[in-house]
Amino acid sequence: MTNLFTLKAAKEQAGEVSTRNSKMPGSSFAISAKHCQVGGKLAQVAGSTCSRCYALKLQKMRPSVDMGWTNNYMKATRLISENPAQWARAIVFQINKAAEKTGERFHRWFDSGDLQSVDMLRAIVMAAELSPDVAHWLPTREAGIVKKYRATYGEFPSNLVVRVSATMIGDKPISGHAHTSTVHRKAESPAGHACPASQQGNACGACRACWSHDVPNVSYPLH
Ligand code: SF4
């Protein structure tokens, strides 16, 4: 891809890709969790997988985080509505810079926030297509957006794993999606791959299961 950006310009246009999550490999892109659609409703439901949302807590506790994620939300939604290809290029420019810095070609979408529209998912797919040597993982509660996207555009590129999250703690994986995630209580058996992070300093370490096409369901222990 031709280098048409400075890092500053790419961040200003598209929102900022971060490498600050030291518990996870590579880069991530977060938007305000205050704009989650399905998640916003689930956050009010006791026992749902959004009922203990760490991102909302962090936004309440730290105004600078709130401002950064809100800025990312505004920049991403605006540029995606005006010029999704430009947004994808500006994001991929940052993802590639981050990969050079960290040596890890892994990117996570939405360590806070969630998909806002089919158009946003389409723009993320463009970003994945522009960075074929980067593995992308997108966890989402927006099963409806994912279904509509697939009905319109077909399957996702092989370097993008979209994991649709179960609604309630203790639920089975949601059906109709190739990649899913669940949350299990201590006394419950995990469905599929149990996330080992809690046994290794709350970090991914060598595990890359969330990004793997070969792992249909990842189950996170409730903590
Ligand atoms: S399953 Fe593996 S890759 Fe996913 S969050 Fe847990 S440790 Fe990280």
Number of domain units in the chain = 1
Query: Is residue 186 domain-resident?
Result: yes
Q: Is the pLDDT of residue 2 over 70?
A: no
In a domain, 1, yes or no: no
Ligand 1 pocket, residue 135 CB under 6 Å: no
Express each pLDDT in 45-101 by its tens digit: 999 989 989 999 999 999 999 999 999 999 999 999 999 999 999 999 999 999 999
Q: What is the DSSP string of 49-97?
A: TTTT-HHHHHHHH-HHHHHHHHHHHHHHHHHHHH-HHHHHHHHHHHHHH
Q: Is residue 4 part of a domain?
A: no
Identify which of 180, 182, 200, 218 to mutate to test ligand 1's pocket (most ligand atoms within 8 A of the CB).
Answer: 218
Full residue range of the structural domain in which residue 151 is found: 11-221
Q: Domain for residue 6, yes or no? A: no
Ligand 1 binding pocket includes 164 (Cβ within 6 Å)? no
Q: Is 208 in the pocket of ligand 1 (CB under 6 A)?
A: yes
Confirm whether 5 is domain-assigned: no
- Probe target for ligand 1 pocket from 22, 110, 210, 222, with the most ligand atoms within 8 Å of CB: 210
Closest CA to 134 of 13, 2, 28: 28
Residue 67 in domain: yes
